[in-house]
Structure 1
Amino acid sequence: MLTPLGTFGANLAQLLVGFHFLIGSLYAVVFRLILNKVQQAGLKLEHSPNNFLLQRIAGFSFDYMITASIAAISIYALREYIVPVLLITTVGGLLTVLYLVWIVPRIFPNAALPNTLGFFGMQTGTISTGMALVKAVDPHFKTNTADNLVMGSGTALLFGFPLLILLNIPVVGYVQDTPMLYFYTLVGFVLYLLLLVGALLFRTRNINVARSE
């Protein structure tokens, strides 16, 4: 369906395929909502969900996924691009840490550490990376971090769609030899970040005011 869009469509298709874990999370959330409605209606089920068993299955699945993702890294490709990889991951990682240390305690004051680790893993990798870090400080998922990661990843596709568009602009600029598109992309990222952070802080402040009343 995206083929007529040329290079832009090809890159967008690859990004959408990379969001398969979001689609899986949405399936799980919708299924659980339907299951809860069935139970609330008083219908008896032959087997009801066992949260303890589901957590153990999820933990094993995340461990397997992380191991497989590390094993899939090409040593030859990493050796060829080691300098830019180290530069981007170091600078990007530090900026991500600083941002999360600032924003997470304002949004989740009661579980700041696990949420910080979880969102750091998800923003520098995938939801499985975030869950792996959360297990280090919250092995039994007693905080709301796991729910935040799953629900957040499920809604990320909606808020991330403008980013899918923006991410294709520098690729088009590279193909068409138009460096000015890189600057337009940066401006778009900054404006969208300010919009989302402002809306998030505004919503959090209203919730705190409502709770205090």
Structure 2
Amino acid sequence: MIGGLLVQLAISRTRFRVLVDKPTLNAIAGVALDFLVVAAIASLAVPIMLANWIPLTIVMLAMAGVSVLIYFHVGPRIFREDWAENSIAQFGAQTGVVAIGLMLLRAADPQMRSNAYRAFALRSPSSAPSSAEG
């Protein structure tokens, strides 16, 4: 995020600022997100997951139940606008990694019309250290 801010500040002070508009940034963000999701899935260690499938399954089922409860009960109360999109991104991040949250958000809002992308980016630096989001 800091790198993005520095690039934005640098571009806004040049004549190239007219070339950078929201649709272009959305297209770049979409491609970058696709690469992020592929890299996250490719980095899974399948042998380790297979060796520990019983405890992983127990934890997964318990956390899935809690996460679904939070998604439907807490999400609409916390997020006044675009609650479903904001909640699905947070759901994905808390049940996996940030890449999964962004992938679910992309599936829920492929045109990037909601404020969920911006809200997720703004809250991630403060929530990631405390919630173990990767």
When normalised by structure 2's length, the TM-score is 0.82
Per-residue CA deviation, residues 189-208 of structure 1 (Å, 9 max, x unaligned), is xxxxxxxxxxxxxxxxxxxx
Q: Which 5+ residue runs of structure 2 have no aligned equivalent?
A: none
8 Å Cα contact 1:114/1:134 also seen in 2: yes
How far apart are residue 32 of structure 1 and its match?
A: 6.6
Give the alignment of 1:39-78 within 5 angstroms.
45-48=14-17, 49-78=20-49
Equivalent of 1:108, from 79, 89, 95? 79
Equivalent of 2:63, from 80, 85, 92? 92
Q: Which residue of 2 aligns with 1:147?
A: 118
Which structure would you say has the larger Rg?
1
Q: Which 5+ residue runs of structure 1 have no aligned equivalent?
A: 1-24, 165-213
How far apart are residue 55 of structure 1 and its match?
A: 1.3
Task: Count the aligned residue pairs.
Answer: 130
Q: For 1:93 and 1:150, how far apart are their aligned partners in 2?
A: 23
8 Å Cα contact 2:67/2:91 also seen in 1: yes
Aligned with 2:112: secondary structure? coil
When normalised by structure 1's length, the TM-score is 0.54
Q: Which residue of 2 aligns with 1:170?
A: none
Per-residue CA deviation, residues 117-167 of structure 1 (Å, 9 max, x unaligned), is 11101112232221111111211211110011100112225x72xx78xxx
Equivalent of 2:108, from 125, 137, 161? 137
Cα distance change of structure 1 residues 87 and 26 upon mapping to structure 2, 3 Å threshold: farther
Q: For 2:30 and 2:8, how far apart are their aligned partners in 1?
A: 22
Per-residue CA deviation, residues 151-190 of structure 1 (Å, 9 max, x unaligned), is 0112225x72xx78xxxxxxxxxxxxxxxxxxxxxxxxxx
> Sequence identity, in percent?
22
How far apart are residue 100 of structure 1 and its match?
A: 2.5
